[in-house]
Structure 1
């Protein structure tokens, strides 16, 4: 009789799951606008789901639709009828991206939601800025589809508790911390918050003195546990106030990696205060300052090409360009003509001539276990500027 009851229960649960999966297919699908950066394209897709199967089915559907995409990053959070929350992610080759999208869902307290961010690689590495694009289009699609729990907007902590959005919010436990007297360029106020500092709508910081950490090593573990599902960017601001710091920093680095914290070391209270100020000041700043500058003018390309030759610097390239006008004319110039240019001595002339006269195919010998193999590498960096 017990076996029959378990079988009936299993069949009933399977029927509920199948019903939820079928309901998932009828829910509305939302898309964000495209973000394009150096030919890489980002678009987020989201919808309400009622089961893990429905979320994975939606992911496969996006993969089938966007066959030419490089990555389809998955993250979802589903609350079951008993209150249990299922949350998973898949980077799909874009390392750390899935976890960041899932952290965003946790921070927003989004439930019964699946987000898939599609990226088309444009041929140029973007660096950390790609995560900003992924989170931006994820947030946009969640807002567009009203998929966020508006009764608990965790990303607007300052507004929710009535604090000024222009101020750094400070936990009361930081009273007497010398760091506060060095926060001078932005306002700050005490508030009832879990972290030590809130420096943005989705950014918080914990402060830790290494001297205190050596006396109370369990302290930082407890503080981090309380923030595990909150904020997109979590910072551990460490004050290095002891000479024997190597082992402690190594330990804290491991803790930060495991708990998805960003660790920043400061060597004085004044430096720690400047870090907090900077995070607040740059809260809404675009990433243009740290983005790679792409220069497509002729002189920049010529400089990049010519400075690959040993001993040739940017000043030499400007001199040669102003004298001969183009790379073609430089290549056709005689050693005597080059020697007339200021700063171009006999050694540089010889290096330039050797670079121009050597074949464009370079043979590299690779050692194997029993014999040498030759690999031909074609050098065509100069093709676009000849």
Structure 2
């Protein structure tokens, strides 16, 4: 175990040349990525194990992190995915009966380089003004690297825009979770960085959940005879995921009901013919207010995205790719960003946030029920058509 009282140095370097000196936390070494901030006051274990954070150095705006340790029940995936971790005050002790290890030990085990003891509020305010940017953490011996060399390494790192990271986080082979309760049918989930809480919520709605690799083809999807298709959250730039857009168009052309969240929302937008763009500093946290335009209800939601769909937030519009009328179903109240899409002539909808929301809030959990209702209605329609066809043949 690495002592939290270490005097090993660490330095956070941003691509604009700003530097923040602190103490090493987690693994020692060098890590590069896009520096972003997450505003959640709780749920750091779910944040760290969310595959959507691959390629990003995450700064926690909550000042005190690590007091509940890490446990074997709450991970959202098989490992910690953040490229680096920035905290102000790591907890000196673990004080929760569910903990199996300390956060510091978990970071070290998964090779995650971190930094503590810096003014995270100052860094957050800087990113809010200047936008998310590339950065690096140099800790231990790496902190002694020449400052000019450190800055060069940061500026030569790839931008998040243009990166396709789905292959890094997706399963290699299909995984099946049985339906809980009455089985509705097989559901094809394209794993772009899916979270375990999402799989659990879908299984609880009666779906036999088939989590498919991001490389799956339309034939792979058809082979399981699904009642619907789901696109998960995930890291990277939606503009760099042409294969997933083409696959989704095949799904829509087959008439299968579709639900997408986060990255899946952006890819539905692209499949419908809309564009996407990078946000200045993104939405990351569990306190984002979103308006459901259909009900007028405001939901407090969990977010993790740096890109958004470019679409008119008022009124209906035609899908440029020929899928009929579409509307923006949800809008972010902080900045009027598109937070959901609903196709009006095909069974497809999506939201930009996380309705599974581990470790909360749960305002948007109803969306899994809405998806189930959509699938049930579609199955009823198909059965009715089949019955009418048989009656017509008599």
TM bin, normalised by shorter chain, reads: under 0.3
Q: Which has the higher helix share?
A: 1
* Structure with greater strand percent: 2
Higher alpha-carbon Rg? 1
TM-score normalised by structure 1 residue count? 0.24
Bigger RCO of structures 1 and 2 (CA < 8 A, at least 6 apart): 2
- Report the TM-score when normalising by structure 2: 0.23
